[in-house]
Amino acid sequence: MILQGKKIQITKQITIPKINYQIELDKIIREIEQTEKIPTLLLHSCCGPCSSYVLEYLSKYFEITVFYYNPNIYPSEEYWYRVEEQKKIIELTDAKNPIRMIEGKYEVEKFYKMAEGMEHLPEGGERCHKCYEMRLSEAAKLARLNHFDYFTTTLTISPHKNSQLLNQIAQKVGEEYGATPLPSDFKKKGGYKRSCEITEQYGMYRQDYCGCEFSMERLKKKESEESRKTDE
């Protein structure tokens, strides 16, 4: 297009339609209900509270193994506390099918190597996306190695996490390692609200930051700014 001697390039934006991953999960569950087979699921869990509703919900249809792999957690005391809370909710869940747990390696150096050069990026940005991919890659590899029917993550229960992105990453790493991702958007159907109810019922520790050193610093900065405003 040329206007008054100037060439203007018009770029057409392409909108990719969002997928309702809860509907996709519902379809799979309906198929399961029509068979006698109980499929196996490797559930990557970011923490006990986030897994609470997911375990209550999916243990009706799957034989679940929780994979606790979160090398991003900082400091180490926080990591081990979250491990214990994960074990606690597994024991407390009234599950129709067995729930097991695999504790992954606490590979702190792997997380910092991944985050190198992205330390300054805001929470929810590229650093976080790479962190999701790192953890889901380990889940996909383990799912393939141990012949799980599906793998997925509790991360989609958070109202602060992009379920479209998380499912896309799961699909990508699933194709890479030969594992089948289970579609999820666990915040749907009141999932996040239910997780809060369960953790309150059992007096569980619900952390106030995502987990890594950078998210902790962001929280401290926010609290400091709010404190300053209060003092003014």
- pLDDT at position 1 is 41
What are the Cα distances from residue 220, in Å, to 12, 209, 217? 42, 10, 5
- pLDDT at position 228 is 62
- pLDDT at position 189 is 96
- pLDDT at position 225 is 66
- pLDDT at position 3 is 44
Q: How far apart are CA 55 and CA 44, in angstroms?
A: 11
> Nearest 10 degrees: CA dihedral of 70, 93, 49, 73?
-20
**How many other CB atoms sit within 10 Å of the CB of residue 194?**
18
- pLDDT at position 232 is 59
Encode the chain (232 residues) as per-residue pLDDT tens digits: 444 444 444 444 455 689 999 999 999 999 999 998 999 999 999 999 999 999 999 999 999 999 999 999 999 999 999 999 999 999 999 999 999 999 999 999 999 999 999 999 988 999 999 999 999 999 999 999 999 999 999 999 999 999 999 999 999 999 999 999 999 999 999 999 999 999 999 999 988 888 999 999 887 777 666 666 665 5
Burial 44-77 (b: 16+ CB within 10 A, else e): bbbbbbbbbbbbbbbbebbbbbbbbbbbbbbeee
Whether the model clears a pTM of 0.85, i.e. scores above it, the answer is yes
Domain ranges of the chain: 38-222
- pLDDT at position 17 is 81
Return the CATH number of 38-222, one of 3.40.50.1100, 3.20.20.70, 3.30.1110.20, 3.40.50.620: 3.40.50.620
